[in-house]
C-alpha cells in the first residue's frame, strides 16, 4: 500500500481522450409519504432536482476529478440537455470541442432517476425514465469522429472507449477508432457494452467488462475462478488485447494478461454499498490513468479497486478525486509512517488539500503517555474540519518544558502512536518551545487546544490571517502528570 501511495503521488497530468455515448443524468428527489389513490404507486413530492454527467461523460468527469486533462469525443443533440452536459463537463476541466452536435432532431440521451426519501433520508430510486434515440446515425459519423480523434491524437496518452450501446460505437465505428489509435501507438482502454461478441473491440489494449458482460460475450457461465480465467482468455483471443480486467463487484477484479496466468485481486477493504451506479466508470478511469502514467498493471488494478469501492459508498454518480484515493490508502494502511511528515513535506501536502477545499485543523502538545483524554480531544478536534494535524514537541523540547525526567515515551514512538489513530491525518515533530514557527509555515484554518490554560499559544498568528481558534474542554480525571504520579505511588507501595 505504501508503494501504491508513492505511485499515485508520482502521477502527473496525462491527456486522455474519452470516446463514446455521452449522456446527461438527472435526479429528481422528493419525499414519499403516501400511496396514490389512483393506483398502487408511491407519490413523490418533489423537493429538488440535480444534473450530473452520465455514460462516457461520467468517465470524463471521473478523469477530470483525478487530475487528468480530458478530451471528449462523441455526439449530443442540439438541445438544452446537451448544453447542460457541456457545462458540467467543463466544470470538471474536460474539453468538449470534440462533442458533435447533431442537428437532425436527435436528442441528447437523458436518464432521469426519480429518488424517494423516507423522512428526508435513505434515498431509494423509484423509477428511471430514459429519453434517447440509439440508431439511424448520419452515414458520415465514423469519418467525423475519426477526424476529431486525428486532430488530438498527437497529444493524447490513452484513448478510452465507453460503450453503452447507444449507437456511437456501433456499425464498425469502434474498430475504426481503435485502428486510428493503434496507428499512433496510443493504448486503448475499452469499457464494453453488454454484447454477445466483443469482436468489434479488436485491437484494444485493455478491456474492463463486468462479470455479467464477460459471461455474455463468451458464453461462459462464471461461477468460480476457473470460469473467470476461461472467459478472460476467450476475450483475449477474440480481441487480441494485452489484458482483461473483469470487475467482480465486492470481490474485486480478475486480471488476465496475454503473457501470464490470471489472478484475482481482492479489494483492500469491504465497502458499504449505497449505490452501485458508476463503479465501473471509476474503474475504467483508473485503468486509463494507470496506462497513461506507465504504472504496473497489478498496481493499477489495485488502485482501480479502491476507486470503485469509494464510488459505491455514495449515492448516484459522484466522481472520486485523486486526493480521496490517497486518503483511502492512508486509511487502509494506518499510515503510521506515511502520516508522519516533516514540516516542509507537510506544508506541501496541506496546500494540496486546500486546493480541494479542505479545512485544516491543528493542535499541538507533548502527548507523553497517550491516554483516553488525549484521544477524546483529538476526536473532537477532527470534527472541526476535514484534516487534523497533530504537532508534538521533540524529546529535547519536552525536556526543556517538563524537566529532565520527561518524556517518558520517545518522540518517534509518540508520533507513531498518534498516527495510528483514525482521527489523526498527519503528525509532525517540532523542536521549538512553542508551535509559533510551525503555525506561520502551515497556516491552519483552525487552531485547537485542549485544557484550561488562559492563553492559547499562537492565537494571534492564526487570527491575524483569518483563521479560527477553538478551546476544547479537558477531560476530567486524565492528565499525563497524574498518571505518572499514580504509577510512582503504586511502585512505592
Task: Report DSSP letters for 169-232, one per residue.
Answer: TTTTHHHHHHHHHHHTT--EEEE--S-S--GGGTT-SEE--BHHHHHHHHT----SHHHHHHHH
H or E element in which residue 47 lies? strand 42-55
428 and 343 in contact (C-beta within 8 Å)? yes
The closest alpha carbon to 22, from 91, 93, 71, belongs to 71
233 grid coordinates: 482468455
Euclidean distance between CA atoms 274 and 144, whole angstroms: 40
Euclidean distance between CA atoms 70 and 448, whole angstroms: 40
366 and 480 in contact (C-beta within 8 Å)? yes
- Determine the straight-line distance between the first and last CA of the chain, rounded to whole angstroms: 48
H or E element in which residue 325 lies? helix 322-333
Q: In whole angstroms, how far apart are CA 82 and each of 9, 75, 183? A: 35, 9, 31
Alpha-carbon Rg for the chain in angstroms: 27
Euclidean distance between CA atoms 219 and 362, whole angstroms: 57
Could you give the 3-state DSSP secondary structure of residue 125?
A: strand
List the helix and strand counts (H, then E) for the chain.
Answer: 17, 18
Euclidean distance between CA atoms 460 and 469, whole angstroms: 9
Catalytic annotation, pick one of 163, 275, 281, 368? 281
Euclidean distance between CA atoms 493 and 471, whole angstroms: 38
The closest alpha carbon to 405, from 311, 297, 484, 292, belongs to 484
254 and 240 in contact (C-beta within 8 Å)? no
232 grid coordinates: 478472460
| Catalytic annotation present for 298 | no
The residues annotated with a catalytic role in the active site are: 281
Amino acid at each position: 500500500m505504501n508503494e501504491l501511495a508513492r505511485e499515485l503521488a508520482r502521477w502527473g497530468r496525462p491527456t486522455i481522450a474519452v470516446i463514446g455515448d455521452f449522456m446527461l443524468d438527472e435526479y429528481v428527489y422528493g419525499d414519499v409519504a403516501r400511496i396514490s389513490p389512483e393506483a398502487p404507486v408511491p407519490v413523490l413530492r418533489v423537493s429538488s432536482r440535480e444534473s450530473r454527467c452520465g455514460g462516457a461523460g461520467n468517465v470524463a468527469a471521473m478523469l477530470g476529478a483525478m487530475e487528468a486533462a480530458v478530451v471528449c469525443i462523441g455526439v449530443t443533440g442540439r438541445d438544452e440537455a446537451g448544453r447542460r452536459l457541456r457545462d458540467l463537463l467543463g466544470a470538471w476541466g474536460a474539453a468538449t470541442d470534440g462533442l458533435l452536435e447533431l442537428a437532425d432532431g436527435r436528442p441528447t440521451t437523458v436518464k432521469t432517476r426519480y429518488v424517494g426519501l423516507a423522512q428526508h433520508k435513505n434515498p431509494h430510486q423509484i423509477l428511471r425514465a430514459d429519453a434517447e434515440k440509439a440508431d439511424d446515425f448520419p452515414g458520415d459519423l465514423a469519418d467525423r469522429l475519426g477526424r476529431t480523434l486525428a486532430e488530438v491524437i498527437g497529444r493524447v496518452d490513452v484513448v478510452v472507449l465507453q460503450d453503452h450501446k447507444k449507437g456511437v460505437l456501433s456499425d464498425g465505428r469502434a474498430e475504426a477508432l481503435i485502428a486510428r489509435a493503434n496507428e499512433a501507438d496510443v493504448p486503448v482502454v475499452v469499457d464494453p457494452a453488454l454484447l454477445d461478441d466483443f469482436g468489434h473491440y479488436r485491437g484494444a489494449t485493455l478491456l474492463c467488462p463486468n462479470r455479467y458482460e464477460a459471461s455474455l460475450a463468451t458464453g461462459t457461465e462464471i461461477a468460480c475462478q476457473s470460469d473467470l480465467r476461461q472467459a478472460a482468455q476467450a476475450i483475449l483471443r477474440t480481441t487480441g488485447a494485452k489484458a482483461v480486467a473483469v470487475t467482480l463487484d465486492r470481490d474485486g477484479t480478475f486480471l488476465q494478461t496475454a503473457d501470464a496466468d490470471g489472478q484475482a485481486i481482492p479489494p483492500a477493504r469491504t465497502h458499504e454499498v449505497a449505490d452501485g451506479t458508476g463503479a465501473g466508470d471509476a474503474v475504467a478511469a483508473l485503468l486509463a490513468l494507470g496506462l497513461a502514467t506507465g504504472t504496473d498493471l497489478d498496481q493499477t488494478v489495485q488502485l482501480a479497486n479502491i476507486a470503485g469501492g469509494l464510488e459505491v459508498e455514495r449515492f448516484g454518480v459522484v466522481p472520486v478525486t485523486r486526493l480521496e484515493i490517497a486518503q483511502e490508502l492512508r486509511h487502509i494502511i494506518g499510515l503510521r509512517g506515511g502520516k508522519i511528515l516533516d514540516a516542509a513535506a507537510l506544508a506541501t501536502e496541506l496546500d494540496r488539500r486546500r486546493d480541494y477545499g479542505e479545512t485544516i485543523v491543528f493542535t499541538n502538545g507533548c502527548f507523553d503517555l497517550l491516554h483516553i483524554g488525549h484521544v477524546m480531544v483529538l476526536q473532537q478536534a477532527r470534527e472541526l474540519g476535514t484534516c487534523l494535524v497533530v504537532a508534538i514537541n521533540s524529546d529535547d523540547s519536552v525536556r526543556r518544558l517538563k524537566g529532565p525526567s520527561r518524556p517518558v515515551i520517545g518522540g518517534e514512538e509518540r508520533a507513531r502512536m498518534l498516527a495510528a489513530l483514525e482521527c489523526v491525518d498527519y503528525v509532525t515533530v517540532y523542536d521549538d518551545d512553542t508551535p509559533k514557527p510551525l503555525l506561520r509555515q502551515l497556516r491552519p484554518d483552525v487552531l485547537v487546544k485542549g485544557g484550561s490554560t488562559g492563553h492559547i499559544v499562537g492565537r494571534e498568528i492564526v487570527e491575524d490571517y483569518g483563521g479560527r481558534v477553538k478551546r476544547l474542554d479537558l477531560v476530567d480525571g486524565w492528565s499525563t502528570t497524574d498518571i505518572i504520579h499514580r504509577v510512582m505511588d503504586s511502585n512505592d507501595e
